[in-house]
């Protein structure tokens, strides 16, 4: 009934605009008389079109089509031709290049009764792209045909067929895209706050929100993205429910459609809430794993967190930063009893650290926060050295004992390794990877039982050295 009222009102408006001498009351009377004259076999829209013709008023073809498009998707059967439908777009897929060399785009469209697939081939795709359609748009489909393919009813477009965007008012009776997003996993409404390029430059990282929940995702570097901040429809992305942020996994079929800039109050609220996905604390250093990636050490809330990374590129932001810097990094995801960084994360450093001024010297390792010139013995050693993009990734991990206490000394500074082993790091440049690993393995073995004089900060059992001096010859 609402659709009928909208259509009649639109027709009345057209007639009155082109026949100013006619009053609205008189026009309504003429329409009712035409219905009575034809014995009620036409509705008010049809009668309005006939009255317009008698008055010499030309009704645009689109208006006639809109009034004729009363067919609903649930009424379709195979074998129909020249179908006209009013519907909304749920999804747009493609265009693809099929194995036969043809171009294909697929629209999923729906009305208040159900949804159906609409396939568009070859030259008709260009018109579709030019129309700048997106999920949720109200469209008029004309010149369609129905058929059954692999057991499913679907629509195609004839060579004379068209798909055009029409006024949202026409689709008032059809639920909007928000309705589908609440009920389907493949349609997401969200807000993208910012985007960055990941460290390996293979991906574009996006940070945003689905409702009040933050999300992070990465797309191929050649992806077309709306400029943030932007309200968006995200199509065909898998949501992985993780903490502290959802992770969006995109596929080749995934698409992002802009919906406009978020309101200033909403943007401010979400930007502030994005802070909850970051860990903040004191950066202690990193340790390289044997093959690739490693672990970042962060002193946070009175504990030392080991944050796992599985790619050497992800360690580059940390390779040239001094320990004891204030670090903000995230999102950090749970990984068994630890935390981990995925491909997309944000990191920021501040060189200011309260620990540089809060030094209470101790001559013993037990319960110390800062040790000054204490003698320790090395009981295990792990030395890692790799290069990436002509930059060194270096980690030194020594388990040391002093009396009945022990600690784990972590350093990424070349001066410490060169001081202990009396060996310049650049000397490894000309060595193959296998020989370099053999040399490092030899140095690890020769370190056992050797004595050091160390000074540095202690966080639980992690020692961040400020100075290391060997007593014994390490190599």
pLDDT of the residue at 200: 64
Report the pLDDT value the prediction gives residue 2, as an integer from 0 to 100.
Answer: 40
Q: Does some domain include residue 28?
A: yes
Residues 268 and 319 reside in one and the same domain? no
Is residue 112 domain-shared with residue 146, that is, in the same domain? yes
Res 418: pLDDT: 86
Residue 377 resides in a domain: yes
Helix (H, G, I), strand (E, B) or coil at 111: coil
Where a domain ends, among 13, 38, 68?
A: 68
> What tokens were used for 213?
């929940």
Question: Could you give the residue ranges of the DSSP H alpha helices within 121-256?
Answer: 123-130, 177-183
If one counts every other C-beta atom within 10 angstroms of the C-beta of residue 56, the result is: 8
Identify the domain boundary among 171, 195, 217.
Answer: 171
Regarding whether 451 and 364 lie in a shared domain, the answer is yes
pLDDT at 108: 94
Same domain, 298 and 259: no
Q: Is residue 41 part of a domain?
A: yes
- Residue 125 falls inside a structural domain: yes
Residue-number span of the structural domain to which 19 is assigned? 2-68
For residue 3, the model assigns a pLDDT of 43
Does 178 map to a domain? no
| Domain presence at residue 233 | yes
Nearest in space to 285 (alpha carbons), one of 268, 271, 298: 298
Q: Same domain for 373 and 431?
A: yes
pLDDT of residue 114: 92
The DSSP symbol for 103 reads E
pTM score of the predicted model: 0.72
Instruction: Extract the tokens encoding 241.
Output: 């429910």
Long-range (24+ apart) CB contacts under 8 A made by 107-112 are 107/133, 107/163, 109/73, 109/85, 109/139, 109/141, 109/155, 110/73, 110/174, 110/180, 111/72, 111/73, 111/85, 111/86, 111/87, 111/174, 112/72, 112/173, 112/174, 112/175
**Whether residue 340 sits in one domain with residue 364:** no
Q: Which residue has the tokens 């014995």?
A: 39
Assigned domain for 180 exists: no
d(CA 404, CA 34): 106
Return the structure tokens found at 116: 């159906």
pLDDT value for 274:
82
| End position of a domain, from candidates 24, 47, 68 | 68
Domain assignment of residue 176, yes or no: no
Same domain, 335 and 417: no
Domain of 331, CATH number, reads 2.40.50.140
Stretch (H or E) spanning 469: strand 462-470
pLDDT in the model for residue 159:
80
Confidence (pLDDT) at 6? 47
Residues 212 and 141 in one domain: no
Please name the residues in contact with 256: beta carbons below 8 A apart, sequence gap of 6 or more: 192, 223, 224, 225, 226, 232, 233, 234, 235
Profile the chain (475 residues) by mean pLDDT over runs of 10 residues: 55 81 86 80 74 79 57 83 88 88 91 92 77 88 88 88 86 90 92 81 85 88 84 92 88 88 88 85 93 92 91 88 90 83 86 60 78 92 88 92 91 89 80 86 90 92 92 72
Number of structural domains the chain divides into: 5
């Amino acid at each position: 009934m609402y659709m009928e009222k909208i259509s009649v009102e639109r027709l009345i408006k057209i007639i009155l605009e082109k026949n100013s001498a006619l009053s609205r009351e008189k026009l309504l009377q003429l329409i009712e008389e035409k219905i009575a004259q034809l014995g009620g076999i036409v509705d008010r829209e049809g009668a309005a079109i006939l009255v317009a013709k008698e008055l010499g008023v030309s009704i645009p073809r689109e208006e006639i089509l809109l009034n004729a498009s009363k067919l609903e998707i649930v009424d379709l059967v195979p074998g129909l031709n020249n179908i006209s439908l009013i519907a909304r777009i749920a999804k747009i897929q493609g265009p693809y290049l099929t194995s036969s060399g043809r171009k294909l785009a697929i629209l999923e469209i729906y009305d208040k009764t159900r949804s159906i697939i609409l396939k568009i081939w070859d030259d008709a795709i260009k018109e579709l792209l030019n129309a700048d359609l997106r999920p949720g748009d109200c469209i008029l489909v004309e010149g369609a045909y129905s058929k059954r393919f692999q057991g499913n009813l679907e629509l195609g477009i004839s060579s004379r067929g068209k798909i055009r965007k029409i006024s949202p008012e026409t689709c008032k009776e059809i639920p909007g895209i928000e309705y589908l997003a609440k009920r389907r996993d493949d349609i997401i409404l969200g807000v993208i706050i910012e985007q960055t390029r990941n460290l390996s430059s293979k991906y574009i990282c996006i940070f945003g929100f689905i409702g009040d929940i933050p999300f992070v995702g990465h797309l191929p570097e050649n992806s077309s993205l709306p400029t943030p901040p932007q309200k968006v429809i995200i199509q065909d992305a898998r949501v992985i429910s993780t903490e502290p942020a959802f992770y969006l996994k995109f596929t080749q079929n995934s698409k992002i459609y802009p919906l406009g800039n978020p309101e200033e109050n909403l943007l401010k609220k979400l930007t502030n809430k994005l802070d909850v996905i970051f860990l903040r604390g004191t950066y202690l250093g990193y340790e390289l794993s044997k093959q690739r990636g490693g672990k970042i050490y962060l002193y946070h809330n009175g504990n030392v967190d080991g944050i796992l990374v599985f790619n050497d590129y992800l360690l580059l932001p940390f390779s040239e930063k001094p320990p004891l810097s204030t670090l903000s990094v995230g999102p950090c995801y749970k990984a068994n009893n630890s935390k981990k960084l995925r491909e997309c994360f944000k990191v920021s450093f501040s060189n200011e650290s309260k620990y540089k001024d809060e030094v209470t010297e101790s001559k013993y390792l037990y319960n110390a926060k800062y040790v000054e010139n204490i003698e320790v013995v090395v009981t295990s050693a792990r030395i890692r050295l790799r290069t990436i993009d002509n930059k060194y990734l270096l980690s030194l991990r020594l388990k040391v004992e002093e009396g009945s206490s022990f600690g784990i000394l972590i350093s990424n500074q070349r001066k410490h390794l060169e001081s202990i082993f009396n060996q310049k790091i650049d000397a490894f440049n000309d060595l193959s990877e296998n020989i370099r690993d053999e040399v490092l393995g030899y140095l690890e073995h020769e370190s056992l039982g050797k004595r050091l004089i160390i000074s540095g900060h202690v966080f639980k059992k992690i020692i961040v050295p400020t100075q290391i001096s060997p007593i014994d010859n390490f190599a």
